[in-house]
Structure 1
Amino acid sequence: MQPSIREVLQLSAMAAGRPHLVGGREHLDRPVRWVHISDLTDLTDLLEGGELVLTTGLPLTEGAWQAEAYLTMLAAQDVAGLVVELGARLGTVPEHLATLADSLALPLVALTDRIRFVEVTQQVHRLIVADQYEEVEFARTTHEVFTSLNIARASTTDIVTRAAQTLGAPLVLEDVSRHVLAYCALHTPTADLLRQWAERSRLHDSASTPAHGSAWSAVPVGVGSERWGRLVLPARTPHASRARMVLERAAQSLQLHRMIQQERDALVVQALGGLLDDLLSGRIGEEPEAMARAAALGLTPNNQYAPLSVRVPRRPNTDALTQGEVDRRLLNAVRQAVAATGETAIASIRREGTVSAVISCASKGADHVLDAVCTGLRDRLTGRSGTDGWAAGTAPSSSSLIGAAQGLAEAEHVADVGLTMPKPNRLYRSTDVRLRGLVALLRDDHRVQRFAETELGRLLDHDTRTGDNLLALLRTHLDCSGSKTHTARLAGLSRPTLYSRLRFIERILGVSLDSVESRTSLHTALMVIDAR
């Protein structure tokens, strides 16, 4: 760090002149970039800014107007300050110059005794060169640290931690939604560091914008339009240039790590997808071969293997790029949820909005593992754009990998039906879907669609014309197995009102709701509509 004027005045060479401050007291912490000795009255274009000018006072002896012009010229050149040696040429600094120095924010110092300006120059320049050397050494060390991390393929957490240790301050890596991906609290309590992080991050969005008395530093992580996060130093730092250097090097390492990880993941996903395809198509018929290939891709052998398929709803007007991002997030969520249980799996994107997996289950059993995986999926998918409303399906587990893979067709069917069930974001088994599963298989058949339209079309038309919601009342009545008492309680209607509306529905549909067969047909038609 460059020495300040205050520090320069404390040097032995300067202190020998018994300096006293004339004006510009509030700006003594201004850094000194260089020392310039001159008695010229006009230094325009001879200075670059940040210099401490030393003079014997000659420019201040030519009259009040010329002295004021001299100080104004120095302020315009953005010098750090002016030191005037009093003596034969100038006995005292005129009082009006003190007021002018204050207004110009220009520190003005008078030396009572004569000194050797060359000694001041040597001492100041020695400090500046030492500071520059220290900066170069810091840059070299920083380069070596992050180069070593890159070579060692360090994790995201390792990179953030090492950067925080280099700066001696906490660091947070956040994504574009301001969710914390990694952090190093260092000596700060984690609760204090991450308290209301998203809100605080927005307040300190710009590294140059002070908020609540402090300024944060941040650099984007990513390349061009593919920026996926920010590395944030949530504190004021006295070494802004060093902080910027470390943050930028850490951001480069994080991006390199992400690129390597994405490439590695892409190759692994491709290999896993190929293995599942071979298992489902029958190209692998021997269990030893299947296990050898799966183990080579990280699957741990166990006594039980469970098929799992996870589906997300189709969103209208979703382009291919958006759907691809949703599929990747779904795959990552499944892999992370499985890993969180301590198990391993073969997982792959089967088609748009569908990820299927065969999970190797330890002694706790397949049901326990599947429930734990789906608990993890709720944390990672529910409430998120593109993945909310997901459904998972499974089939009976198997003692063989090939047998479990063959159960994926049933698991995918159950997951597909699960999207039409009243309760999303959960695991379904074949015993949960039953008739609804058959309807889901046949939902695209025009004869099934005509059946649903024949059963409920007139009631749908009535609701569309009038704004009534008689279909909802019919659904409630069918769910209550035709019990008017239960229907009235759930619908919040008095019995006379309910009876009147049910008779009206019967007239519209031309059927009796007391008939079990009629209720069965209408319930089936509702399932067809739900499955569309």
Structure 2
Amino acid sequence: MPVHTPVIHTTIRHILERPHFQKAVVIGDETSLNRTVTWVHIIEVTRLDELLNGNELVLTTGLAWHENEALSLSFLQQLIANNVSGLCIELGTYTESLPAAMIEFAERHHFPLILFHEKVRYIDITQDLHSLFIHQHYQMVKELEDLSSSFNQILLDGKGIEEILYEFHRRTRINVCYLPIQGESYFYPALSLKEQEKRVKEWIEHKTWHHRSLHTSRPIMVLTHYFADLIAYKDGLAFSEFDELAFDRCATAIAQEVMRTTYMEERRRQQEERWMHDWINNENNQEEVNSELQQLQKGTFHSMAVGLISKNHLLSSHKNREGLFIQKSMLARSIFEERGITLLATSMPHAYVFILLYPGSISASVFRERLYSGYRALLKEDERGTFPFFEYLVFGKTVKAPTDVPVSYLTAKETEKVKNRVPSLALPFYENLHLFRTVLKMEEEGDIDDFIDEHLGELLRFDADRQGHLIQTLRVYLQCFGSKQDAARELYVVRQTLYHRLDKISELMGEDLFSSPKRLSVELALHAYEYQTGTK
């Protein structure tokens, strides 16, 4: 394949090769001649304010400042401050020569001064250079479109990240490096192993390279999550507009490739992990489970929990629910891996299931905190999406042994049952169900309605007849541990109203309401009522 000539960004050196500049005299060094020029502008005023965008070549006769050395120096200072690339001056008509201070200041800042000792038509210069810039812009757009097409073809052919890096380098002659969070780094052109290790280490520690090469970088983001850094570096001229735009397209192509390969890997993994179904349902032997887990992690996992999302929650109109699950699994895997947790995902007939495993020997409370942190991160991802997914995620009991994972799965189902009936459940983890676990047992035995009526029946009937808000008052009062001041504030009522309600509650339920056994029964009845009605 032939070497491609990249789009040139116009410099002072290139402009000096144009016909109208053949007799011009330049005051400037090599650095000044490499300044990039993107436009040309005629200026005959001394106050520039916001007239310039930067990278212009300014043309002037010196009419506004030729008789004032201080004014001429101020004019030059403003040009340099506005990042102008160079100044062309016609000598003879208004300005015979430049002040020494002006020349010295320009040389000190590597700023080129281009002098015309004969009368020139600035209109011809602007027309010539504008035509050049417009033609180069057209060429740049055409080149970028061609580059994007090449990247798309590489993606369609499945040739991988290395081929994308090669194509970027071939088109731009810029060196490039791909540094993933996990996996192998790529440098193109290749460097020695020692130099690669040095640069990777320096980038990880400082997010920059301290050697002389110019460099710029882009994060590779997939599903709003950070996967890698892409770094372009070179010696010599600064990055041109074409370089930056080409690099953006390279980063986009690599993000698409990462997305494709990660998606395919997730899909393959889920197809191969049908053994998880048997494990969750307690239908395979322990040796098979241990063998599969050994392939994931040398050693043993010490903390485990099952999470699930019922398929009933997802829109039946979603045409590719399994594809959606694969994408969400990729995201969840990345988030939990940041917290040291290995995630396995599989699709069951009625639910999507995640098995979360932690290899370290930590307490159950620390493991749960990491699960909480990951769960909250997933909810934030939901906020960025068009419809909820992870808000339906619930978790079972935390267990220590693979043989107990089926227990975690069953308890996750119990958590989901409570979550469906009690939407206010903030952290849907089995350990946070507390009294709702007892409520579930009562429901299994058919005792829940009788229990609610026995302990709350009088209050419920009073509220139904007179809208007395006694159930709400009792719940808040108990939550505030008997503090009347806190309860009144939570209920947004004055204390006298609260006192009146508490007196009525005592009248209907007895003065021993807050004795230890009865209080426990009342709180259980309140939880059962919330479970039955879905309201507090």
Calculate the TM-score normalised by the size of structure 2. 0.51
Secondary structure in structure 2 of the residue aligned to 1:474: helix
Could you list the per-position Cα deviations for residues 79-99 of structure 1 after superposition, in whole angstroms to 9, with x for gaps in the alignment? Answer: xxxxxxx9xxxxx99xxxx69
Amino acid corresponding to residue 169 of structure 1 in structure 2:
T
Secondary structure in structure 2 of the residue aligned to 1:254: helix
Structure 1 gap segments, 5+ residues each: 31-85, 87-91, 109-123, 188-235
Q: Identify if the C-alpha distance between structure 1 residues 269 and 366 changes in structure 2 by more than 3 Å, giving closer, same or farther.
A: farther
Q: Identify if the C-alpha distance between structure 1 residues 148 and 277 changes in structure 2 by more than 3 Å, giving closer, same or farther.
A: closer
Cα separation, 1, equivalents of 2:284 and 2:506 = 57
Q: Larger Rg: 1 or 2?
A: 1
Verify the 8 A CA contact 1:312 1:354 in the aligned structure 2.
yes
Q: Identify if the C-alpha distance between structure 1 residues 520 and 29 changes in structure 2 by more than 3 Å, giving closer, same or farther.
A: closer
Matched, 1:171 2:218: yes
Q: Identify if the C-alpha distance between structure 1 residues 394 and 145 changes in structure 2 by more than 3 Å, giving closer, same or farther.
A: same
Q: Identify if the C-alpha distance between structure 1 residues 160 and 169 changes in structure 2 by more than 3 Å, giving closer, same or farther.
A: farther
Secondary structure in structure 2 of the residue aligned to 1:11: coil
Verify the 8 A CA contact 1:309 1:355 in the aligned structure 2.
yes
Superposed counterparts of 1:199-218, under 5 Å? none
- Cα deviation for residue 10 of structure 1 reads 3.0
Cα separation, 1, equivalents of 2:337 and 2:164 = 23
Verify the 8 A CA contact 1:394 1:415 in the aligned structure 2.
no
- Cα deviation for residue 160 of structure 1 reads 11
Cα separation, 2, equivalents of 1:487 and 1:466 = 23
Could you list the per-position Cα deviations for residues 272-304 of structure 1 after superposition, in whole angstroms to 9, with x for gaps in the alignment? Answer: 3x222112334312x2222223334x24442x5
Secondary structure in structure 2 of the residue aligned to 1:394: coil
Amino acid corresponding to residue 372 of structure 1 in structure 2:
R
- Match in the other structure for 1:269: 270
Cα separation, 1, equivalents of 2:373 and 2:311 = 22
Verify the 8 A CA contact 1:160 1:182 in the aligned structure 2.
no
Cα separation, 2, equivalents of 1:389 and 1:283 = 27
Verify the 8 A CA contact 2:303 2:358 in the aligned structure 1.
yes
Amino acid corresponding to residue 262 of structure 2 in structure 1:
Q
Superposed counterparts of 1:8-47, under 5 Å? 10-11=16-17, 26=42
- Match in the other structure for 1:424: 426
Secondary structure in structure 1 of the residue aligned to 2:426: coil
- Cα deviation for residue 267 of structure 1 reads 2.0
Q: Identify if the C-alpha distance between structure 1 residues 185 and 339 changes in structure 2 by more than 3 Å, giving closer, same or farther.
A: same
Secondary structure in structure 2 of the residue aligned to 1:170: strand
Secondary structure in structure 1 of the residue aligned to 2:416: helix
Superposed counterparts of 1:177-256, under 5 Å? 182-183=228-229, 238-240=240-242, 242-256=243-257
- Cα deviation for residue 395 of structure 1 reads 4.2
Secondary structure in structure 2 of the residue aligned to 1:266: helix
Cα separation, 1, equivalents of 2:518 and 2:413 = 28
Cα separation, 2, equivalents of 1:152 and 1:237 = 19
Verify the 8 A CA contact 2:306 2:412 in the aligned structure 1.
yes
Could you list the per-position Cα deviations for residues 21-49 of structure 1 after superposition, in whole angstroms to 9, with x for gaps in the alignment? Answer: xxx8639979xxxxxxxxxxxxxxxxxxx
- Match in the other structure for 2:406: 406
Amino acid corresponding to residue 425 of structure 1 in structure 2:
L
Matched, 1:288 2:287: yes
Verify the 8 A CA contact 1:488 1:498 in the aligned structure 2.
no
Verify the 8 A CA contact 2:415 2:430 in the aligned structure 1.
yes
Cα separation, 2, equivalents of 1:105 and 1:152 = 39
Superposed counterparts of 1:489-500, under 5 Å? 489-492=486-489, 497-500=497-500
Cα separation, 1, equivalents of 2:404 and 2:484 = 43
Superposed counterparts of 1:332-371, under 5 Å? 332=330, 335-336=333-334, 338-342=336-340, 344=342, 346-348=344-346, 355-357=353-355, 359=357, 361-364=359-362, 368-371=366-369
Q: Identify if the C-alpha distance between structure 1 residues 248 and 396 changes in structure 2 by more than 3 Å, giving closer, same or farther.
A: closer
- Cα deviation for residue 152 of structure 1 reads 10
- Match in the other structure for 2:260: 259
- Match in the other structure for 2:512: 514
- Cα deviation for residue 502 of structure 1 reads 2.0
Cα separation, 2, equivalents of 1:396 and 1:8 = 71
Cα separation, 2, equivalents of 1:392 and 1:10 = 71
- Cα deviation for residue 475 of structure 1 reads 0.2
Cα separation, 1, equivalents of 2:503 and 2:473 = 12
Amino acid corresponding to residue 528 of structure 2 in structure 1:
V
Cα separation, 2, equivalents of 1:14 and 1:488 = 88
Cα separation, 2, equivalents of 1:357 and 1:8 = 63
Superposed counterparts of 1:304-453, under 5 Å? 305-310=302-307, 318-319=315-316, 321=318, 331-332=329-330, 335-336=333-334, 338-342=336-340, 344=342, 346-348=344-346, 355-357=353-355, 359=357, 361-364=359-362, 368-381=366-379, 384-385=382-383, 386=388, 387=390, 392-398=395-401, 401=402, 403-413=403-413, 415-416=415-416, 419=419, 420=422, 424-425=426-427, 427-429=429-431, 433-440=433-440, 448=448, 452=452
Q: Identify if the C-alpha distance between structure 1 residues 278 and 394 changes in structure 2 by more than 3 Å, giving closer, same or farther.
A: same
Amino acid corresponding to residue 149 of structure 1 in structure 2:
I
- Match in the other structure for 1:149: 161
Cα separation, 1, equivalents of 2:313 and 2:348 = 20
- Match in the other structure for 2:526: 526
Verify the 8 A CA contact 2:459 2:505 in the aligned structure 1.
yes
Verify the 8 A CA contact 2:220 2:255 in the aligned structure 1.
no
Q: Identify if the C-alpha distance between structure 1 residues 256 and 170 changes in structure 2 by more than 3 Å, giving closer, same or farther.
A: closer
Verify the 8 A CA contact 2:379 2:391 in the aligned structure 1.
yes
1:106 is matched with which residue: 122, 127, 135?
A: 127
Amino acid corresponding to residue 291 of structure 1 in structure 2:
N
Verify the 8 A CA contact 1:333 1:381 in the aligned structure 2.
no
- Cα deviation for residue 258 of structure 1 reads 0.9
Report the aligned-residue RMSD: 5.8
Cα separation, 1, equivalents of 2:22 and 2:469 = 95
Q: Identify if the C-alpha distance between structure 1 residues 333 and 105 changes in structure 2 by more than 3 Å, giving closer, same or farther.
A: closer
Identity %: 13
- Match in the other structure for 1:191: none
- Cα deviation for residue 268 of structure 1 reads 0.9
Cα separation, 1, equivalents of 2:331 and 2:15 = 62
Q: Identify if the C-alpha distance between structure 1 residues 247 and 424 changes in structure 2 by more than 3 Å, giving closer, same or farther.
A: same
Verify the 8 A CA contact 1:305 1:358 in the aligned structure 2.
no
Q: Identify if the C-alpha distance between structure 1 residues 247 and 504 changes in structure 2 by more than 3 Å, giving closer, same or farther.
A: same
- Cα deviation for residue 372 of structure 1 reads 3.2
Could you list the per-position Cα deviations for residues 54-93 of structure 1 after superposition, in whole angstroms to 9, with x for gaps in the alignment? Answer: xxxxxxxxxxxxxxxxxxxxxxxxxxxxxxxx9xxxxx99
Could you list the per-position Cα deviations for residues 382-406 of structure 1 after superposition, in whole angstroms to 9, with x for gaps in the alignment? Answer: 68433358653324422xx3x1223
Q: Identify if the C-alpha distance between structure 1 residues 444 and 7 changes in structure 2 by more than 3 Å, giving closer, same or farther.
A: farther
Secondary structure in structure 2 of the residue aligned to 1:308: strand
Cα separation, 2, equivalents of 1:315 and 1:506 = 44
- Match in the other structure for 1:48: none
Secondary structure in structure 2 of the residue aligned to 1:424: coil
- Cα deviation for residue 265 of structure 1 reads 0.4
- Cα deviation for residue 263 of structure 1 reads 1.5
Cα separation, 2, equivalents of 1:279 and 1:414 = 19
Secondary structure in structure 1 of the residue aligned to 2:404: helix
Q: Identify if the C-alpha distance between structure 1 residues 257 and 465 changes in structure 2 by more than 3 Å, giving closer, same or farther.
A: farther
Secondary structure in structure 1 of the residue aligned to 2:357: strand
- Cα deviation for residue 501 of structure 1 reads 1.0
Structure 2 gap segments, 5+ residues each: 1-6, 26-39, 44-54, 58-117, 166-177, 190-207
Cα separation, 2, equivalents of 1:186 and 1:244 = 12
Amino acid corresponding to residue 256 of structure 1 in structure 2:
E
Q: Identify if the C-alpha distance between structure 1 residues 251 and 345 changes in structure 2 by more than 3 Å, giving closer, same or farther.
A: closer
